[in-house]
Amino acid sequence: MSSSNEKPKHYCGLFGVFGVTDPSKLIYAGLFALQHRGQEGAGMVVSDGEKVRSVKAEGLVGDVFTRDPDCLAKLQGYLGIGHVRYSTTGASRPQNVQPLVAGCVDGIWAIAHNGNLTNAKKLRHGYQEAGAIFQTSTDSEILLHLIADPQFRSRPQRVERALNELRGAFSFLLMTKDTVMAARDRFGFRPLSIGKLGSGYVFASETCALEQVGAEFIRDVEPGEVVTGRPPRPSQQFLLRAGEDGLGSVYL
């Protein structure tokens, strides 16, 4: 049996929080519970509503966030996202460890991805022909370019429209300095759950991670749905279901 066949194939783990205290400690605990989904690298991005801070590296959760004893204490805020990586596309190298973070004209965006995008190569080629520079070899990075693209940035429901360009199986956590978004592809091929923790919310690839941090399971993110946590409302969702062209919105 080849070494590649011996690896557990769970294809990355996502964990995010919004409206909580000590987000870095919660993300650490959540990623630890999801470690079986990816062992190549781990990372988290945390914000206090103004400043965005991140730590990521190759290795296991218990190693990445303990190399600096003050690592978690430095990541202060009330929202954040985390990722454990198993490479489905792109080589195993430091640049490919997520969350990916980029500075757009409207501020910092971070993304964490589980799944495969079947049209990423075509989209990537189009942006490269137009002069765009990619920092990683993962298919995940294409979403950052779509979000930054003026044809999406200047239109309502920008993230939903950008996600609608993607094909394949995916779950995403996206983050700005004051917002966390959770999204699934229109067919719901990749899992993503929502939990409640005090007055805040938690998003996770598996409910075992919700249990790890003491969050109450609410429901799964629906296929084709984007759930957004931003002030002053705790959460907001936009729907884009299979076979539908229009976008609708409701509030939790």
Other CB atoms closer than 10 Å to residue 191's CB: what's the count? 16
The per-residue pLDDT for 86 is 82
Model confidence over 60-85: pLDDT tens digits? 999 999 999 999 999 999 999 999 99
Predicted TM-score (pTM) of this structure? 0.88
- For the segment 175-197, the average pLDDT, to the nearest whole number, is 94
Has residue 1 been placed in a domain? no
Model confidence over 200-209: pLDDT tens digits? 999 999 999 9
Has residue 45 been placed in a domain? yes
DSSP state of 215: P
Residue 89 sits in a domain of what CATH number?
A: 3.60.20.10
The per-residue pLDDT for 243 is 43
Catalytic residue among 12, 71, 104, 208: 12
Question: CA-to-CA distance for 214 and 207, rounded, in angstroms?
Answer: 11
Query: Total structural domains in the chain?
Result: 1
Among 118, 56, 106, 105, smallest CA distance to 82 is for 56
The per-residue pLDDT for 70 is 94
**Is position 71 annotated as part of the catalytic site?**
no
How deeply is 21 buried, as exposed, middle or buried, from its count of CB atoms within 10 A (0-12, 13-18, 19+)?
Answer: middle
Among 160, 166, 221, smallest CA distance to 190 is for 221
Has residue 46 been placed in a domain? yes
- For the segment 223-235, the average pLDDT, to the nearest whole number, is 75
State which residues form the domain around 140: 10-251
H/E stretch holding 84 reads strand 79-85
